[in-house]
Amino acid sequence: GVPVNSRVSSKIQQLLNTLKRPKRPPLKEFFVDDFEELLEVQQPDPNQPKPEGNQVNLLQGEPLGVVTSWPPSLLAALQHWGTTQPKAPCLTALDTTGKAVYTLTYG
């Protein structure tokens, strides 16, 4: 603008200039066109650890017999066994040779 001689006028001019600026930047400044990057095939990181060992398979246990005194739901059974026999094994994980590696108890 216009040359300003007084201090008050310069502050008013600064306020006017501030009010003239758009309050929000145009949408194109927010938009990033990364569509081409999304189409590119991601290459695996060469430093990423590789899986080792054989694939784990589930083993089928023997079928359970029907007993009428069992709790009506899994949650009720876990609560019952957790309070009556907390040290009893609940779940056992085996390694590839069939040896017990981890054992989870009810308690």
Q: What is the DSSP letter of 61?
A: -
Evaluate if pTM is beyond 0.85: no
Q: Which residues contact 106 (CB under 8 A, 6 or more apart)?
A: 78, 81, 82, 85, 86, 87, 88, 90
Over the stretch 28-78, which tens digit does the pLDDT of each residue have?
A: 666 667 767 767 777 778 888 888 888 878 778 777 676 677 788 888 888
Taking CA atoms, 103 is separated from 22, 46, 74, 88, 93, in Å, by 65, 35, 19, 10, 6
Residue 95 to residue 102: CA distance in whole angstroms = 9
Q: What's the CA gap between 56 and 44, in Å, rounded? A: 24
Which tens digit of pLDDT belongs to each residue from 3-33? 655 566 888 888 888 888 777 766 666 666 7
